[in-house]
């Protein structure tokens, strides 16, 4: 969950590294560092904290260098633990993303051989291992390859030697992309790091290494050179900028209408352009995901069972990895925004080993998930920089609606009516965005609380879960989502005037039960905010505040309610003075288990 950068070319490498790291801070921001090779020496600058405000940074303008922005796993955030890490002589520098699971035994062996370590990190064993191989007469690139063979865990790392004009990088279970410019080359954890300079990329696969100089690059696997095509990234640098918004999160919430439109344009023409062979012969579906994507899966379960009558299970990917699922004609669907979520990838690998068919739903072309899966459906959200997922969640839901409609057993007329309603969702989201000031005003009342509950029934329950997650992620208010009917089985003990409740009220078969639950909540003196249909004339009799959303088919309410709750969470966090785009302790892409 760190951001790594490497550069070889004609520009000042320190300036490129700083620019690239600013675009990777969503991957980690508790410390950072840059190293350049110049005149046969390595010069390093490391610091604790965010890199975004650094100005006039220079290490002297070498043309080859590394950069790193950190999300701590081994060792607290400190200058010593920040990357890049060096060998004993300060001649080899390494930046790394991932976890080296056997670092303790490697470190003990190296210390016995006379190596001195400075940090608490697992990463530091890498430059020392490279050094040990170089001292045995190995070429620098070969030394890096042999080092990789000794490592266990997950890693993408880039190494640089003071008197060598090459960068050498290796990838295994952590993302790494090669950017191809004109007379310059880039290595990075993610595409936004290099979009300022190039949109031509090569996606590296697990077990591949790359040797890069200003004259070109070679990709190897098991010591054998492999040819890989260059792909064009369909995003611009403007897509990765704030565009005048105060925060990336707010910009990305406002991009929700376009995201739905783009996804519908991609897959919805005269028919739903999703390959029906993906679903041929299956007996059931198993969703595996983490975080926000898990909530999308819960909604997907509701949609598919409601529209297609196919049994669906949803499991946290991190828990699926410890289970022993029965073999059947199960389609396993892994949903991951980045395509690099470690737990989800492991769940997909396990499913493949068990002989199950695997479908990936992801936002990133060329990501690991796309290469693991038998089938891939891309969401069309564009780059999402804010750590809290907003538009990628809406894109995932849009794809799930199309899948459910594609495999539905409902009459064609009913499916067409649903699709026509789905086509109207972008305009309805725009109406919600036009209510921004009203939602902001409501949020002022609740920014001072430290605990909140979100409740719903049926399809409203996963909406509540996602709303609570957004609030806790960015405002640091303790928020929990519950099925409304479960409150009386324990959580009622927490209700009272200091615990507001957000009720997601859908005008479907759950409506009357939800009203009954709200009456019970009000009897415990908890303030209640309702998210409700604009045509609901009854709800204001029972609640204190109402966020009204445009009327739509009840089954489509996750697309509208979720946007309203994203705005609510954003404005609560803003009023509390929180770091919205980079919430504490979190990173955008969770690439370690």
State the catalytic residues: 2, 588
How far is the C-alpha of 435 from the C-alpha of 269, rounded, in Å? 31
How far is the C-alpha of 563 from the C-alpha of 163, rounded, in Å? 53
The answer to whether 337 and 292 have CB atoms below 8 angstroms apart is yes
How far is the C-alpha of 504 from the C-alpha of 512, rounded, in Å? 13
How far is the C-alpha of 456 from the C-alpha of 462, rounded, in Å? 8
Residue 471 token pair: 């609030």
β-strand pairing of 451-456 with 478-483: parallel
DSSP 8-state assignment for residue 499: B
Q: In what order do the strands lie in the sheet with 451-456?
A: 478-483, 451-456, 501-504, 528-533, 545-549
Residue 291 token pair: 């975080």
- State how far the alpha carbon of 540 is from the alpha carbons of 411, 546, 548, in Å: 36, 7, 10
Q: Where are the beta strands (DSSP E) in 419-541?
A: 451-456, 478-483, 501-504, 528-533
Q: Where are the beta strands (DSSP E) in 261-336?
A: 284-289, 312-316, 330-336
**Measured between alpha carbons, how far apart are the two ends of the chain, in Å?**
10
How far is the C-alpha of 98 from the C-alpha of 101, rounded, in Å? 9
How far is the C-alpha of 528 from the C-alpha of 544, rounded, in Å? 5
DSSP 8-state assignment for residue 84: P
Residue 460 token pair: 């409203």
* Furthest C-alpha separation in the chain: 81
Q: In what order do the strands lie in the sheet with 41-48?
A: 41-48, 31-38, 64-70, 3-8, 185-188, 177-180, 200-203, 231-232
Peptide bond into 478 cis (omega under 30): no
Nearest to 171 by CA among 96, 228, 230, 65: 96
3-state helix, strand, coil in the chain (%, to 5): 40, 25, 40
How many degrees, rounded to 5, is the angle at CA 41 between CA 35 and CA 47?
30
Report residue 389: phi and psi, to 5°.
Answer: -70, 130
Helix (H) or strand (E) holding 132: helix 125-135
């Amino acid at each position: 969950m760190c951001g790594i950068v490497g550069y070889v070319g004609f520009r000042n490498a320190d300036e490129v590294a700083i620019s690239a790291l600013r675009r990777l801070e969503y991957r980690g921001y508790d410390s950072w560092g840059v190293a350049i090779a110049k005149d046969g020496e390595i010069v390093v600058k490391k610091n604790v904290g965010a890199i975004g405000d650094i100005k006039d940074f220079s290490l002297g303008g070498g043309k080859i260098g590394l950069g790193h922005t950190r999300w701590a796993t081994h060792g607290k955030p400190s200058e010593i633990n920040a990357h890049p890490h060096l060998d004993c002589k300060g001649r080899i520098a390494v930046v790394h993303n991932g976890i080296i699971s056997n670092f303790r035994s490697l470190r003990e062996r190296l210390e016995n051989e006379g190596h001195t370590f400075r940090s608490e990190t697992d990463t530091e064993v890498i430059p020392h291992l490279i050094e040990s191989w170089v001292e045995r007469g190995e070429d620098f690139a070969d030394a890096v390859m042999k080092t990789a063979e000794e490592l266990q865990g997950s890693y993408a790392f880039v190494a640089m030697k003071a008197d060598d004009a090459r960068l050498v990088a290796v990838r295994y279970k952590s993302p790494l992309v090669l950017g191809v410019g004109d007379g310059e080359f880039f290595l990075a954890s993610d595409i936004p790091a290099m979009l300022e300079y190039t949109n031509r990329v090569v996606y590296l696969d697990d077990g591949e290494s790359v040797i890069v100089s200003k004259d070109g690059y070679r990709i190897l696997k098991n010591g054998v050179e492999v040819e890989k095509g260059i792909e064009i990234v369909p995003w611009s640098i403007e897509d990765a900028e704030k565009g005048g918004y105060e925060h990336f999160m707010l910009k990305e919430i406002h991009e929700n209408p376009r995201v739905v439109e783009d996804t519908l344009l991609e897959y919805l023409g005269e028919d739903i352009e999703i390959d029906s062979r993906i679903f041929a012969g299956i007996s059931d579906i198993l969703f595996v995901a983490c975080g926000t994507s898990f909530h999308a899966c819960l909604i997907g379960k509701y949609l598919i069972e409601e529209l297609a009558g196919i049994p669906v299970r949803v499991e946290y990917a991190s828990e699926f990895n410890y289970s022993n699922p029965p073999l059947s004609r199960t389609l396993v669907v892994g949903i991951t925004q980045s395509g690099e979520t470690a737990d989800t990838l492991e769940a997909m690998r396990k499913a493949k080993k068990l002989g199950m068919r695997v479908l990936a739903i992801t936002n990133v072309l060329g990501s690991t998930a796309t290469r693991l899966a038998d089938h891939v459906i891309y969401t069309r959200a564009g780059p999402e920089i804010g750590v809290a997922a907003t538009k990628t969640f809406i894109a995932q839901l849009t794809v799930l609606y199309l899948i459910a409609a594609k495999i539905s057993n409902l009459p064609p007329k009913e499916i067409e009516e649903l699709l026509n309603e789905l086509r109207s969702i972008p305009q309805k989201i725009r109406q919600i965005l036009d209510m921004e000031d009203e939602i902001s005003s409501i949020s002022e009342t609740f920014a001072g609380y430290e605990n909140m509950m979100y409740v719903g029934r049926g399809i409203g329950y996963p909406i509540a879960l996602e709303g609570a997650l957004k609030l806790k992620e960015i405002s640091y208010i303790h928020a929990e989502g519950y099925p409304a009917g479960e409150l009386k089985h324990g959580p009622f003990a927490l209700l009272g005037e200091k615990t507001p409740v957000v009720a997601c009220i859908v005008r479907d078969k759950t409506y009357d039960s939800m009203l009954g639950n709200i009456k019970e909540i009000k009897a415990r003196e908890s303030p209640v905010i309702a998210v409700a249909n604009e045509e609901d004339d009854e709800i204001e009799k029972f609640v204190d505040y109402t966020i009204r959303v445009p009327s739509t088919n009840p089954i489509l309410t996750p697309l509208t309610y979720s946007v309203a709750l994203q705005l609510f969470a954003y404005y609560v966090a803003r009023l509390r003075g929180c770091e919205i785009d980079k919430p504490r302790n979190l990173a955008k892409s969770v690439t370690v288990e």
